[in-house]
Amino acid sequence: DAPPPRSAEILSRRESHFAKPQKNYYTRPPQIERGWKQHMFDVTGRTYLDMVNNVATVGHGHPRLAEAVYQQWSMLNTNSRFHYEVVAAFSERLARLAPDNLDTVFLVNSGSEANDLALRLAWAASGARNMLCLLEGYHGWTVGSDAVSTSIADNPQALTTRPDWVHPVMAPNTYRGPYRGPNSTADYVAAVRPTLDALDAKGEKLGGFICETVYGNAGGIALPPGYLQEIYAEVRRRGGICIADEVQVGYGRLGHYFWGFDQQGVVPDIITVAKGMGAGHPLGAVITSRAIADALEKEGYFFSSAGGSPVSCVVGMTVLDIMTDEELQENARDTGDYLKARLEALGQRFPIVGAVHGMGLYLGLEFVRDRQTLQPATEETAAICDRLLALGVIMQPTGDHLNVLKIKPPLCLTRESADFFADCLARVLEEGW
Ligand code: PMP
């Protein structure tokens, strides 16, 4: 259907003044006007099922969140140098959500900021600058978080432009990496050793290691069992700090676990979190130990104008209240498992479905042209996403080959909506593309 005439005009105004690298989804995007729970509505009144928006954790347009923001903003919004109760309450609550020794919180405004600050903390606490990160990873857009981002889907130049303190190591991609399946842990750990040995041989110290605890950017692939236990031990043996980027995968989305690192049976030294914790409001946090947090004191004070503001803290508290009262983590587990089973069943019918990665409401459906060679079905994936849009489903590709559907809807997804998504996908695969 042709978009309404004003929509094309508004898009062209966006292209005139909104800087180009800030891409929008789709070549002919619907003009979205409203959101409600797991749905979005465009200006023509058309409904879309939002299967991609991992930020809208509690669902779009949650009245309880809107009311809490309104009340707090009407009363007070200022910065965290002032003394008000909610900043104490929210920090306390985040500390309670983290493992015991991680009881100290910095409040910032995004995942990139959280990761940048985590790097600074690791440098300050270890006294060393070298950082290990994983290939195919993404950690943000700020100078530090971008430096440790290696995903060529996000930045085609990534692998040739990293600063010299960044040491990317092999992506432990158990689906299409050089070592396959759950028994590949030892091989992927061994693949990190040459980098560590090279630093050791030069007498260089290691500042730390940053990674997503479930391989989010690569499509929600679980790290091989025990991988982080071994890598964290190697890093700590060299005095390095282990940073868990939980920006996408943590905070209840995995359903079976609140944090991604729980699934690996490790406790990091620093947790970074954002996205879903603010349900769309700019909110991020770094949770660490008192000793690591205090290491930053040598560099003076830390201050973020809006980080930890009363409104941000109220948003954070209300999101957690809603998650508890509406049992959203449990829903992520149950509806996520149900959806995963439905997607796996599509794999029995359609050879293009190579694998269904992930758990809870963080799933990745990987399309391949050939199940033996695993040749990525990149163009097909783009066409499938376009066709899904026409059927009323918002879905986007991820991964270095852009051949994985990133399935991360609001955590209030219902079984009915999971069925709608799986049925639409079945229809698109039946039609061909
Ligand atoms: N880490 C991960 C794993 C992410 O996926 C992202 C955002 N896609 C970030 C960090 C950066 O977060 P933000 O966009 O809030 O700066």
Eight-state DSSP code of residue 372:
T
- 391: region left, alpha or beta (phi > 0 left; psi from -120 to 50 alpha): alpha
From 57, 247, 398, 406, the mutation candidate for ligand 1 (largest count of ligand atoms within 8 A of CB) is 247
**Assigned fold of 5-58+327-431:** Aspartate Aminotransferase, domain 1 (3.90.1150)
pLDDT band for position 3 (cuts 50, 70, 90): low
Q: Is the pLDDT of residue 433 over 90?
A: no
Contact status, residue 403 vs residue 376, Cβ threshold 8 Å: yes
pLDDT in tens, 301-328: 899 999 999 999 999 999 999 999 999 9
**Assigned fold of 63-325:** Aspartate Aminotransferase; domain 2 (3.40.640)
| ipTM of model | 0.99
pLDDT band for position 2 (cuts 50, 70, 90): low
Question: Which residues, 6+ apart, have CB-to-CB distance to 65 below 8 Å?
Answer: 58, 279, 315, 318, 319, 322
User: Distance from the CA of 345 to the center of ligand 1, in angstroms?
Assistant: 31
pLDDT in tens, 107-126: 999 999 999 999 999 999 99
Contact status, residue 324 vs residue 299, Cβ threshold 8 Å: no
User: Distance from the CA of 243 to the center of ligand 1, in angstroms?
Assistant: 14
Eight-state DSSP code of residue 159:
G
Domain ranges of the chain: 5-58+327-431, 63-325
The verdict on the CB of residue 146 being under 6 Å from ligand 1 is no
Separation CA 388–CA 408 (nearest Å): 15
User: Distance from the CA of 349 to the center of ligand 1, in angstroms?
Assistant: 35
Q: Is the pLDDT of residue 40 over 70?
A: yes
The verdict on the CB of residue 274 being under 6 Å from ligand 1 is yes
- Closest listed residue to residue 150, CA positions, set 173, 174, 130, 171: 171
User: Distance from the CA of 400 to the center of ligand 1, in angstroms?
Assistant: 16
- Closest ligand 1 atom to the C-alpha of 140? 11
pLDDT in tens, 224-233: 999 999 999 9
User: Distance from the CA of 67 to the center of ligand 1, in angstroms?
Assistant: 27
Which amino acid residue places its CA nearest to atom 1 of ligand 1?
139
User: Distance from the CA of 122 to the center of ligand 1, in angstroms?
Assistant: 19
The per-residue pLDDT for 6 is 87
Cβ neighbours, 10 Å, residue 119? 27
From 210, 243, 275, the mutation candidate for ligand 1 (largest count of ligand atoms within 8 A of CB) is 275
The per-residue pLDDT for 177 is 94
